[in-house]
A and B are shown apart, each in its own frame.
Chain A
Amino acid sequence: MAKRVSLSGNEAAAFAMKQIDPDVVAAYPITPSTEIPQYFSQFVANGEVNSEFVAVESEHSAMSACIGASAAGARTMTATSSQGLALMWEMLYIAASMRLPIVMTVANRALSGPINIHNDHSDSMGARDSGWIQLYSESAQEAYDNIIQAIRIAEDPRVSLPVMVCMDGFITSHALETLEVLEDEEVKKFIGEYNPDDFLLNADHPIAMGPLDLQSYYFEHKRQEQDAMDNAKQVILEIAEEYEKLTGRKYSHFEKYALDDADIAVVVLNSTAGTAKVVVDDLRSQGIKAGLLKPRTFRPIPGKEIFDALKNVKAVAVMDKADSFGAYGPLFTDIRNIMFDNKDIKIVNYIYGLGGRDVGTKDIEMVYNDLMDIVKTGKVYEVKKYLGVREKGGEEVWQL
Protein backbone atom coordinates (compact mmCIF):
# COMPACT_ATOMS: atom_id res chain seq x y z
CA MET A 1 0.00 0.00 0.00
CA ALA A 2 1.26 3.41 -0.94
CA LYS A 3 1.55 5.98 1.81
CA ARG A 4 1.66 9.76 1.86
CA VAL A 5 4.71 11.44 3.33
CA SER A 6 6.21 14.92 3.49
CA LEU A 7 9.67 15.03 1.96
CA SER A 8 11.96 17.49 0.23
CA GLY A 9 13.25 16.61 -3.21
CA ASN A 10 16.59 15.52 -1.78
CA GLU A 11 14.87 13.44 0.91
CA ALA A 12 12.67 11.85 -1.74
CA ALA A 13 15.72 10.99 -3.84
CA ALA A 14 17.57 9.53 -0.85
CA PHE A 15 14.45 7.62 0.18
CA ALA A 16 14.11 6.14 -3.32
CA MET A 17 17.76 5.08 -3.12
CA LYS A 18 17.13 3.50 0.28
CA GLN A 19 14.26 1.46 -1.13
CA ILE A 20 16.34 0.49 -4.16
CA ASP A 21 19.18 -0.53 -1.81
CA PRO A 22 21.90 -0.47 -4.48
CA ASP A 23 25.10 -2.46 -4.06
CA VAL A 24 27.34 0.60 -4.28
CA VAL A 25 26.92 4.36 -3.84
CA ALA A 26 30.01 6.50 -4.46
CA ALA A 27 29.38 10.19 -4.00
CA TYR A 28 30.88 13.55 -3.09
CA PRO A 29 28.88 16.37 -1.50
CA ILE A 30 28.01 19.47 -3.51
CA THR A 31 25.26 22.05 -3.01
CA PRO A 32 22.35 21.54 -3.54
CA SER A 33 22.54 17.73 -3.89
CA THR A 34 24.71 17.28 -0.74
CA GLU A 35 21.84 16.01 1.37
CA ILE A 36 21.27 13.00 -0.89
CA PRO A 37 24.58 11.25 -0.06
CA GLN A 38 24.31 12.66 3.48
CA TYR A 39 20.92 11.04 4.14
CA PHE A 40 22.01 7.92 2.32
CA SER A 41 25.17 7.55 4.39
CA GLN A 42 22.94 7.70 7.48
CA PHE A 43 20.92 4.79 6.10
CA VAL A 44 24.19 2.93 5.63
CA ALA A 45 25.38 3.77 9.16
CA ASN A 46 22.03 2.69 10.62
CA GLY A 47 22.19 -0.60 8.77
CA GLU A 48 18.97 0.19 6.91
CA VAL A 49 20.57 -0.66 3.56
CA ASN A 50 23.15 -3.20 2.49
CA SER A 51 24.95 -0.76 0.22
CA GLU A 52 28.66 -0.12 0.18
CA PHE A 53 29.10 3.67 0.53
CA VAL A 54 32.33 4.93 -0.98
CA ALA A 55 33.34 8.37 0.33
CA VAL A 56 35.60 9.71 -2.39
CA GLU A 57 37.74 12.84 -2.68
CA SER A 58 36.05 14.45 -5.70
CA GLU A 59 33.25 13.97 -8.19
CA HIS A 60 35.72 12.76 -10.78
CA SER A 61 36.53 9.98 -8.35
CA ALA A 62 32.86 9.49 -7.50
CA MET A 63 32.01 8.72 -11.10
CA SER A 64 35.20 6.69 -11.53
CA ALA A 65 34.29 4.56 -8.50
CA CYS A 66 30.75 4.17 -9.86
CA ILE A 67 32.18 3.01 -13.18
CA GLY A 68 34.44 0.48 -11.47
CA ALA A 69 31.62 -0.80 -9.29
CA SER A 70 29.15 -1.01 -12.14
CA ALA A 71 31.65 -2.77 -14.41
CA ALA A 72 32.29 -5.25 -11.60
CA GLY A 73 28.59 -6.08 -11.66
CA ALA A 74 27.16 -3.94 -8.86
CA ARG A 75 23.92 -1.95 -9.02
CA THR A 76 25.37 1.54 -8.63
CA MET A 77 23.95 4.98 -7.85
CA THR A 78 25.16 8.49 -7.08
CA ALA A 79 24.06 12.13 -7.00
CA THR A 80 25.59 15.48 -7.86
CA SER A 81 25.07 19.09 -9.01
CA SER A 82 26.70 21.80 -11.08
CA GLN A 83 30.50 21.95 -10.64
CA GLY A 84 30.37 18.37 -9.41
CA LEU A 85 28.78 17.24 -12.64
CA ALA A 86 31.31 19.35 -14.53
CA LEU A 87 34.16 17.62 -12.71
CA MET A 88 32.67 14.25 -13.67
CA TRP A 89 32.61 15.26 -17.33
CA GLU A 90 35.16 12.91 -18.84
CA MET A 91 33.93 10.00 -16.73
CA LEU A 92 30.32 10.56 -17.85
CA TYR A 93 31.33 9.65 -21.38
CA ILE A 94 33.25 6.60 -20.15
CA ALA A 95 30.23 5.36 -18.17
CA ALA A 96 27.97 5.73 -21.19
CA SER A 97 30.38 4.23 -23.70
CA MET A 98 30.99 1.24 -21.42
CA ARG A 99 27.20 0.95 -21.32
CA LEU A 100 27.04 0.90 -17.53
CA PRO A 101 23.55 1.32 -16.02
CA ILE A 102 24.48 3.83 -13.31
CA VAL A 103 21.61 5.98 -12.00
CA MET A 104 22.47 9.49 -10.85
CA THR A 105 20.26 12.20 -9.40
CA VAL A 106 21.20 15.71 -10.48
CA ALA A 107 19.87 18.63 -8.44
CA ASN A 108 20.24 21.20 -11.22
CA ARG A 109 22.34 24.24 -10.44
CA ALA A 110 24.01 27.00 -12.44
CA LEU A 111 27.59 26.51 -13.52
CA SER A 112 30.08 29.05 -12.26
CA GLY A 113 31.24 31.63 -13.15
CA PRO A 114 30.26 34.04 -11.92
CA ILE A 115 30.02 31.99 -8.74
CA ASN A 116 26.43 30.98 -8.12
CA ILE A 117 24.81 28.12 -6.26
CA HIS A 118 21.22 28.53 -7.44
CA ASN A 119 19.11 26.71 -9.95
CA ASP A 120 19.34 26.65 -13.68
CA HIS A 121 19.97 23.83 -16.16
CA SER A 122 23.41 24.69 -17.48
CA ASP A 123 24.93 21.69 -15.68
CA SER A 124 22.84 18.87 -17.14
CA MET A 125 22.39 20.61 -20.51
CA GLY A 126 26.15 20.63 -20.85
CA ALA A 127 26.13 16.86 -20.31
CA ARG A 128 23.47 16.48 -23.00
CA ASP A 129 25.77 14.72 -25.47
CA SER A 130 27.55 12.45 -22.99
CA GLY A 131 25.41 9.44 -23.88
CA TRP A 132 23.39 9.48 -20.65
CA ILE A 133 19.63 9.22 -20.72
CA GLN A 134 18.16 12.36 -19.13
CA LEU A 135 14.83 12.45 -17.31
CA TYR A 136 13.53 15.74 -15.92
CA SER A 137 11.25 16.06 -12.89
CA GLU A 138 8.80 18.84 -12.00
CA SER A 139 8.42 17.86 -8.34
CA ALA A 140 9.80 15.66 -5.57
CA GLN A 141 7.12 13.13 -6.50
CA GLU A 142 8.37 12.99 -10.06
CA ALA A 143 11.99 12.79 -8.95
CA TYR A 144 11.12 9.83 -6.69
CA ASP A 145 9.15 8.08 -9.43
CA ASN A 146 11.80 8.78 -12.08
CA ILE A 147 14.62 7.39 -9.93
CA ILE A 148 12.80 4.09 -9.40
CA GLN A 149 11.92 3.79 -13.08
CA ALA A 150 15.46 4.82 -14.06
CA ILE A 151 16.87 1.64 -12.51
CA ARG A 152 14.73 -0.48 -14.82
CA ILE A 153 15.41 1.70 -17.87
CA ALA A 154 19.18 1.70 -17.35
CA GLU A 155 19.40 -2.04 -16.70
CA ASP A 156 17.16 -3.14 -19.56
CA PRO A 157 19.45 -5.17 -21.87
CA ARG A 158 18.04 -3.32 -24.88
CA VAL A 159 19.28 -0.07 -23.34
CA SER A 160 22.19 -0.63 -20.96
CA LEU A 161 22.95 3.06 -20.53
CA PRO A 162 23.36 5.32 -17.50
CA VAL A 163 20.44 7.56 -16.52
CA MET A 164 20.49 11.06 -15.05
CA VAL A 165 17.38 12.08 -13.12
CA CYS A 166 17.21 15.87 -12.93
CA MET A 167 15.23 18.10 -10.59
CA ASP A 168 15.55 21.81 -9.84
CA GLY A 169 18.12 22.60 -7.18
CA PHE A 170 16.65 24.27 -4.07
CA ILE A 171 13.25 24.86 -5.71
CA THR A 172 12.59 21.10 -5.71
CA SER A 173 15.57 19.69 -3.83
CA HIS A 174 14.95 21.72 -0.66
CA ALA A 175 11.20 22.37 -0.73
CA LEU A 176 8.99 20.16 1.38
CA GLU A 177 6.23 18.44 -0.55
CA THR A 178 3.60 15.85 0.13
CA LEU A 179 4.13 12.83 -2.04
CA GLU A 180 3.08 9.24 -2.32
CA VAL A 181 5.73 6.59 -1.84
CA LEU A 182 5.67 2.85 -2.34
CA GLU A 183 6.35 0.17 0.23
CA ASP A 184 9.92 -1.14 0.27
CA GLU A 185 8.71 -4.54 -0.90
CA GLU A 186 6.86 -3.04 -3.86
CA VAL A 187 9.98 -1.20 -4.99
CA LYS A 188 12.08 -4.35 -4.58
CA LYS A 189 9.65 -6.30 -6.69
CA PHE A 190 9.36 -3.60 -9.33
CA ILE A 191 13.11 -3.22 -9.88
CA GLY A 192 13.92 -6.93 -9.46
CA GLU A 193 17.38 -8.40 -9.03
CA TYR A 194 20.19 -7.00 -11.10
CA ASN A 195 21.68 -9.75 -13.27
CA PRO A 196 24.00 -8.21 -15.84
CA ASP A 197 25.12 -10.28 -18.81
CA ASP A 198 28.65 -8.98 -18.72
CA PHE A 199 30.55 -8.07 -15.58
CA LEU A 200 34.15 -8.18 -14.49
CA LEU A 201 33.71 -10.29 -11.35
CA ASN A 202 32.26 -13.17 -13.35
CA ALA A 203 35.08 -15.70 -12.85
CA ASP A 204 33.44 -18.19 -15.24
CA HIS A 205 33.62 -15.75 -18.14
CA PRO A 206 36.62 -13.46 -17.77
CA ILE A 207 36.24 -10.41 -20.02
CA ALA A 208 37.97 -7.12 -20.68
CA MET A 209 35.92 -3.91 -20.63
CA GLY A 210 36.72 -0.45 -21.94
CA PRO A 211 39.70 -1.37 -24.16
CA LEU A 212 41.55 0.90 -26.59
CA ASP A 213 39.23 1.42 -29.56
CA LEU A 214 40.79 3.18 -32.51
CA GLN A 215 39.80 4.06 -36.07
CA SER A 216 38.58 0.58 -36.99
CA TYR A 217 36.03 0.14 -34.16
CA TYR A 218 35.28 3.35 -32.20
CA PHE A 219 32.73 4.56 -34.76
CA GLU A 220 30.80 1.25 -34.63
CA HIS A 221 30.65 1.38 -30.84
CA LYS A 222 29.37 4.96 -30.95
CA ARG A 223 26.71 3.83 -33.42
CA GLN A 224 25.69 1.20 -30.86
CA GLU A 225 25.13 3.96 -28.29
CA GLN A 226 22.73 5.66 -30.68
CA ASP A 227 20.92 2.34 -31.13
CA ALA A 228 20.59 1.96 -27.35
CA MET A 229 19.13 5.48 -27.16
CA ASP A 230 16.63 4.57 -29.89
CA ASN A 231 15.62 1.46 -27.94
CA ALA A 232 15.29 3.51 -24.77
CA LYS A 233 12.35 5.41 -26.25
CA GLN A 234 10.26 2.25 -26.28
CA VAL A 235 11.63 0.89 -23.00
CA ILE A 236 10.87 4.14 -21.13
CA LEU A 237 7.23 3.91 -22.23
CA GLU A 238 6.93 0.21 -21.34
CA ILE A 239 8.31 0.78 -17.86
CA ALA A 240 6.10 3.86 -17.37
CA GLU A 241 3.08 1.71 -18.16
CA GLU A 242 4.12 -0.93 -15.65
CA TYR A 243 4.77 1.77 -13.07
CA GLU A 244 1.34 3.27 -13.67
CA LYS A 245 -0.25 -0.11 -12.92
CA LEU A 246 1.59 -0.15 -9.61
CA THR A 247 1.09 3.48 -8.56
CA GLY A 248 -1.71 4.96 -10.66
CA ARG A 249 0.68 7.73 -11.68
CA LYS A 250 0.97 8.19 -15.41
CA TYR A 251 4.31 8.89 -17.06
CA SER A 252 5.27 9.29 -20.67
CA HIS A 253 8.03 11.07 -22.61
CA PHE A 254 6.35 14.36 -21.76
CA GLU A 255 3.29 15.75 -20.08
CA LYS A 256 0.65 17.52 -22.14
CA TYR A 257 -1.27 20.14 -20.19
CA ALA A 258 -4.32 21.58 -21.98
CA LEU A 259 -2.37 21.04 -25.18
CA ASP A 260 -4.68 19.09 -27.48
CA ASP A 261 -6.71 22.07 -28.72
CA ALA A 262 -4.17 24.78 -27.86
CA ASP A 263 -3.32 27.66 -30.22
CA ILE A 264 -0.36 28.80 -28.18
CA ALA A 265 1.94 26.68 -26.06
CA VAL A 266 4.98 26.85 -23.84
CA VAL A 267 7.60 24.08 -23.67
CA VAL A 268 9.44 24.12 -20.37
CA LEU A 269 11.32 21.66 -18.13
CA ASN A 270 11.13 20.90 -14.42
CA SER A 271 9.56 23.08 -11.72
CA THR A 272 8.74 26.07 -13.94
CA ALA A 273 6.16 23.83 -15.63
CA GLY A 274 4.22 24.01 -12.35
CA THR A 275 4.20 27.81 -12.50
CA ALA A 276 3.18 27.71 -16.16
CA LYS A 277 0.22 25.44 -15.37
CA VAL A 278 -1.22 28.14 -13.11
CA VAL A 279 -0.97 30.62 -15.98
CA VAL A 280 -2.54 28.13 -18.41
CA ASP A 281 -5.50 27.62 -16.06
CA ASP A 282 -5.92 31.37 -15.75
CA LEU A 283 -5.78 31.94 -19.51
CA ARG A 284 -8.16 29.08 -20.16
CA SER A 285 -10.68 30.62 -17.75
CA GLN A 286 -10.53 33.71 -19.98
CA GLY A 287 -11.25 31.57 -23.03
CA ILE A 288 -7.67 31.69 -24.36
CA LYS A 289 -6.49 28.42 -25.81
CA ALA A 290 -3.16 28.14 -24.01
CA GLY A 291 -1.33 24.86 -23.43
CA LEU A 292 1.88 23.42 -22.09
CA LEU A 293 4.29 20.66 -23.02
CA LYS A 294 6.65 19.55 -20.27
CA PRO A 295 9.35 17.18 -21.54
CA ARG A 296 10.35 14.37 -19.21
CA THR A 297 12.67 12.49 -21.56
CA PHE A 298 15.19 14.95 -22.98
CA ARG A 299 17.72 12.33 -24.10
CA PRO A 300 16.62 10.47 -26.14
CA ILE A 301 14.43 13.26 -27.46
CA PRO A 302 11.08 11.77 -28.55
CA GLY A 303 10.96 13.65 -31.86
CA LYS A 304 7.98 12.03 -33.53
CA GLU A 305 5.80 12.24 -30.44
CA ILE A 306 6.66 15.90 -29.84
CA PHE A 307 5.94 16.69 -33.49
CA ASP A 308 2.50 15.13 -33.17
CA ALA A 309 1.77 16.88 -29.89
CA LEU A 310 2.65 20.34 -31.24
CA LYS A 311 1.57 20.04 -34.85
CA ASN A 312 -1.72 21.94 -34.48
CA VAL A 313 -0.34 24.70 -32.28
CA LYS A 314 0.14 28.07 -34.00
CA ALA A 315 2.91 29.55 -31.87
CA VAL A 316 5.26 27.90 -29.40
CA ALA A 317 7.65 29.42 -26.87
CA VAL A 318 10.47 27.14 -25.79
CA MET A 319 11.89 28.21 -22.45
CA ASP A 320 15.51 27.37 -21.71
CA LYS A 321 17.06 27.66 -18.26
CA ALA A 322 20.47 27.36 -19.93
CA ASP A 323 22.04 29.31 -22.73
CA SER A 324 24.33 28.55 -25.62
CA PHE A 325 26.06 31.86 -26.14
CA GLY A 326 26.15 32.81 -29.77
CA ALA A 327 23.41 30.29 -30.54
CA TYR A 328 20.01 29.29 -29.13
CA GLY A 329 18.96 27.47 -25.98
CA PRO A 330 19.41 23.68 -26.14
CA LEU A 331 15.74 22.74 -25.72
CA PHE A 332 14.69 25.29 -28.34
CA THR A 333 17.23 23.95 -30.83
CA ASP A 334 15.76 20.46 -30.49
CA ILE A 335 12.12 21.53 -30.61
CA ARG A 336 12.60 23.75 -33.66
CA ASN A 337 14.50 20.95 -35.40
CA ILE A 338 11.68 18.54 -34.69
CA MET A 339 9.07 20.99 -36.00
CA PHE A 340 11.09 21.96 -39.09
CA ASP A 341 8.74 20.20 -41.51
CA ASN A 342 5.76 22.07 -40.11
CA LYS A 343 6.11 25.46 -41.80
CA ASP A 344 2.95 26.90 -40.26
CA ILE A 345 4.19 26.94 -36.72
CA LYS A 346 6.12 29.89 -35.23
CA ILE A 347 8.65 29.00 -32.57
CA VAL A 348 10.51 31.38 -30.29
CA ASN A 349 13.10 30.94 -27.58
CA TYR A 350 13.13 32.46 -24.10
CA ILE A 351 16.21 32.19 -21.94
CA TYR A 352 15.00 32.51 -18.34
CA GLY A 353 15.98 32.10 -14.72
CA LEU A 354 19.75 31.87 -15.11
CA GLY A 355 21.54 31.61 -11.78
CA GLY A 356 18.27 31.13 -9.94
CA ARG A 357 16.55 34.35 -11.08
CA ASP A 358 12.97 33.95 -9.93
CA VAL A 359 10.35 33.27 -12.57
CA GLY A 360 6.76 33.93 -11.58
CA THR A 361 3.36 33.73 -13.19
CA LYS A 362 3.72 37.37 -14.38
CA ASP A 363 6.79 36.44 -16.44
CA ILE A 364 5.10 33.46 -18.01
CA GLU A 365 1.99 35.54 -18.74
CA MET A 366 4.26 37.83 -20.75
CA VAL A 367 5.43 34.86 -22.77
CA TYR A 368 1.86 33.79 -23.57
CA ASN A 369 1.00 37.43 -24.42
CA ASP A 370 3.91 37.52 -26.88
CA LEU A 371 2.63 34.30 -28.42
CA MET A 372 -0.84 35.81 -28.82
CA ASP A 373 0.75 38.77 -30.64
CA ILE A 374 2.65 36.40 -32.91
CA VAL A 375 -0.56 34.56 -33.77
CA LYS A 376 -2.37 37.86 -34.39
CA THR A 377 0.29 39.50 -36.54
CA GLY A 378 1.87 36.37 -38.01
CA LYS A 379 5.25 37.99 -37.34
CA VAL A 380 8.22 37.06 -35.16
CA TYR A 381 10.47 40.03 -34.48
CA GLU A 382 12.93 38.35 -32.17
CA VAL A 383 13.55 34.61 -32.11
CA LYS A 384 15.64 34.60 -28.95
CA LYS A 385 14.63 36.70 -25.98
CA TYR A 386 15.76 37.01 -22.39
CA LEU A 387 12.98 36.78 -19.83
CA GLY A 388 13.46 38.62 -16.54
CA VAL A 389 16.86 40.16 -17.25
CA ARG A 390 17.22 43.92 -16.54
CA GLU A 391 17.27 45.63 -19.92
CA LYS A 392 17.22 49.18 -18.51
CA GLY A 393 19.00 50.51 -15.46
CA GLY A 394 17.58 52.81 -12.79
CA GLU A 395 18.12 56.57 -12.42
CA GLU A 396 21.22 56.47 -10.27
CA VAL A 397 24.56 56.25 -12.03
CA TRP A 398 27.76 55.23 -10.32
CA GLN A 399 30.61 57.60 -11.04
CA LEU A 400 33.85 55.69 -10.92
Chain B
Amino acid sequence: MSEKVYKTGQDASWKELPKAGIIYEAGNAREFKTGDWRVKKPEYYADKCIQCLFCWAYCPESAIIVEDGKVVGIDYDHCKGCGICAVECPDRASAIQMVIE
Protein backbone atom coordinates (compact mmCIF):
# COMPACT_ATOMS: atom_id res chain seq x y z
CA MET B 1 0.00 0.00 0.00
CA SER B 2 1.30 3.42 -0.93
CA GLU B 3 1.69 5.91 1.90
CA LYS B 4 -1.39 8.08 2.15
CA VAL B 5 -1.20 11.85 2.15
CA TYR B 6 -4.29 13.08 3.88
CA LYS B 7 -5.50 15.47 6.50
CA THR B 8 -8.19 15.06 9.09
CA GLY B 9 -9.97 17.59 11.22
CA GLN B 10 -12.54 20.21 10.48
CA ASP B 11 -10.28 22.48 8.48
CA ALA B 12 -9.48 19.73 5.94
CA SER B 13 -11.14 20.12 2.53
CA TRP B 14 -12.92 17.32 0.68
CA LYS B 15 -9.77 16.89 -1.39
CA GLU B 16 -7.62 16.33 1.70
CA LEU B 17 -9.89 14.10 3.76
CA PRO B 18 -9.45 10.32 3.42
CA LYS B 19 -11.79 8.76 0.87
CA ALA B 20 -15.22 7.73 2.18
CA GLY B 21 -14.33 8.61 5.79
CA ILE B 22 -11.94 5.69 6.12
CA ILE B 23 -10.16 5.81 9.46
CA TYR B 24 -6.52 4.83 9.04
CA GLU B 25 -5.52 5.04 12.70
CA ALA B 26 -6.50 1.88 14.51
CA GLY B 27 -8.00 2.46 17.96
CA ASN B 28 -8.53 6.20 17.70
CA ALA B 29 -12.09 5.88 18.99
CA ARG B 30 -10.39 6.56 22.35
CA GLU B 31 -10.04 10.18 21.30
CA PHE B 32 -13.79 10.51 21.16
CA LYS B 33 -14.84 11.15 24.73
CA THR B 34 -18.32 9.72 25.15
CA GLY B 35 -18.42 10.43 28.89
CA ASP B 36 -20.41 13.63 28.47
CA TRP B 37 -23.41 11.66 27.16
CA ARG B 38 -23.93 10.32 30.67
CA VAL B 39 -26.96 11.09 32.82
CA LYS B 40 -26.34 8.58 35.58
CA LYS B 41 -22.92 7.47 36.63
CA PRO B 42 -21.76 4.11 37.99
CA GLU B 43 -20.19 4.33 41.44
CA TYR B 44 -17.71 1.49 42.17
CA TYR B 45 -17.23 0.17 45.72
CA ALA B 46 -13.94 -1.71 45.86
CA ASP B 47 -14.67 -3.15 49.31
CA LYS B 48 -17.75 -5.04 48.05
CA CYS B 49 -16.20 -6.22 44.77
CA ILE B 50 -15.59 -9.98 44.40
CA GLN B 51 -13.54 -9.51 41.20
CA CYS B 52 -15.77 -11.64 39.00
CA LEU B 53 -15.02 -9.26 36.07
CA PHE B 54 -18.61 -9.42 34.79
CA CYS B 55 -18.70 -5.63 34.55
CA TRP B 56 -15.53 -5.61 32.49
CA ALA B 57 -16.87 -8.27 30.13
CA TYR B 58 -20.24 -6.58 29.62
CA CYS B 59 -19.27 -2.91 29.42
CA PRO B 60 -19.87 -1.83 25.79
CA GLU B 61 -17.39 1.04 26.10
CA SER B 62 -14.43 -0.83 27.62
CA ALA B 63 -14.74 1.69 30.42
CA ILE B 64 -14.03 -0.68 33.32
CA ILE B 65 -10.38 -0.19 34.21
CA VAL B 66 -8.60 -3.43 34.97
CA GLU B 67 -5.02 -3.64 36.22
CA ASP B 68 -3.23 -6.93 36.87
CA GLY B 69 -6.49 -8.80 36.33
CA LYS B 70 -8.37 -6.75 38.91
CA VAL B 71 -11.05 -4.07 38.54
CA VAL B 72 -9.63 -0.83 39.92
CA GLY B 73 -12.18 1.76 38.77
CA ILE B 74 -14.16 3.31 35.95
CA ASP B 75 -12.97 5.41 33.02
CA TYR B 76 -15.41 8.33 33.22
CA ASP B 77 -14.06 9.88 30.02
CA HIS B 78 -15.71 7.08 28.06
CA CYS B 79 -18.41 5.59 30.33
CA LYS B 80 -21.77 6.47 28.78
CA GLY B 81 -23.75 5.63 31.91
CA CYS B 82 -25.74 2.80 30.34
CA GLY B 83 -25.94 0.93 33.64
CA ILE B 84 -25.17 -2.49 32.25
CA CYS B 85 -22.31 -2.99 34.71
CA ALA B 86 -24.59 -2.27 37.67
CA VAL B 87 -27.17 -4.79 36.43
CA GLU B 88 -24.61 -7.48 35.67
CA CYS B 89 -22.74 -7.08 38.96
CA PRO B 90 -23.89 -10.10 41.04
CA ASP B 91 -26.52 -9.30 43.68
CA ARG B 92 -24.40 -10.73 46.48
CA ALA B 93 -21.72 -8.15 45.68
CA SER B 94 -23.70 -5.13 44.39
CA ALA B 95 -20.38 -3.37 44.00
CA ILE B 96 -21.64 -0.92 41.37
CA GLN B 97 -24.54 1.49 41.95
CA MET B 98 -25.88 4.02 39.47
CA VAL B 99 -26.18 7.52 40.90
CA ILE B 100 -27.36 10.84 39.41
CA GLU B 101 -24.33 12.87 38.29
Give chain A's interface residues, CB within 8 Å of chain B: 97-99, 160, 197-198, 202, 204-211, 213, 216-217, 219-221, 223-224, 227
Contact = CB atoms under 8 A, between A and B. Distances in A.
Interface string B21-55: 11110100000000000000000000000000000
B22 A208 contact: yes
A213 B21 contact: yes
A98 B21 CA distance: 8
Interface of B: 1-2, 10, 12-15, 17, 19-24, 26
Contacts of B10: 216
A208 B19 CA distance: 12
A213 B22 CA distance: 10
Nearest to A213: B21
A197 B19 CA distance: 11
Contacts of B13: 220
B11 to A, nearest CB: 10
A210 B14 contact: no
Contact of A99 (B2, B14, B19, B24): B19
Contacts of A220: 12-14, 17
23 contacts: A98-B20, A197-B1, A197-B2, A198-B1, A198-B19, A198-B22, A202-B1, A205-B1, A206-B26, A207-B23, A207-B24, A207-B26, A208-B26, A213-B21, A216-B10, A219-B14, A220-B12, A220-B14, A220-B17, A221-B20, A224-B17, A227-B14, A227-B15
Q: Which 3 A-B pairs have the closest CB atoms?
A: A220-B14, A208-B23, A223-B14
Given A219-B14, A221-B17, 17 more contacts: A97-B20, A198-B19, A202-B1, A204-B1, A205-B1, A205-B24, A207-B22, A207-B26, A208-B22, A209-B20, A209-B21, A209-B22, A210-B21, A213-B21, A220-B17, A221-B14, A227-B15
A227 to B, nearest CB: 7
Nearest to A220: B14
B17 A217 contact: yes
Contacts of B1: 197-198, 202, 204-205
B23 A224 contact: no
Contacts of B20: 97-99, 209-210, 221, 224
Contacts of B22: 198, 207-209
| Secondary structure of the B contact surface, majority rule | loop
Nearest to B16: A220
Contact of B21 (A204, A205, A221, A223): A221
B78 to A, nearest CB: 16
A294 to B, nearest CB: 33
A28 B30 CA distance: 39
Nearest to A204: B1
A394 B15 CA distance: 62
A219 B22 CA distance: 15
Given A205-B1, A221-B14, A160 B21 contact: no
Contacts of B24: 205, 207
B8 to A, nearest CB: 9
Contacts of B2: 197
Contacts of A99: 19-20
Contact of B14 (A202, A216, A224): A224
B23 A211 contact: yes
Contacts of A217: 17, 21
A345 to B, nearest CB: 35
A211 B14 CA distance: 16
Contacts of B14: 219-221, 223-224, 227
A223 B16 CA distance: 12
A213 B14 CA distance: 13
Residue of A198, A213, A227 contacting most chain B CB atoms (<10 Å): A198
Nearest to A97: B20
Contacts of A97: 20
A162 B9 CA distance: 27
Interface centre among B14, B20, B23 (most CB of A within 10 A): B20
With a 10 A CB-CB cut-off, give which of A98, A202, A224 has the most chain B CB atoms. Answer: A224
Nearest to B10: A216
Residue with the highest number of chain A CB atoms closer than 10 Å, among B12, B15, B21 = B21
B26 A211 contact: no
Nearest to B13: A220
A170 to B, nearest CB: 36
Contacts of A224: 14, 17, 19-20
A211 B19 contact: no
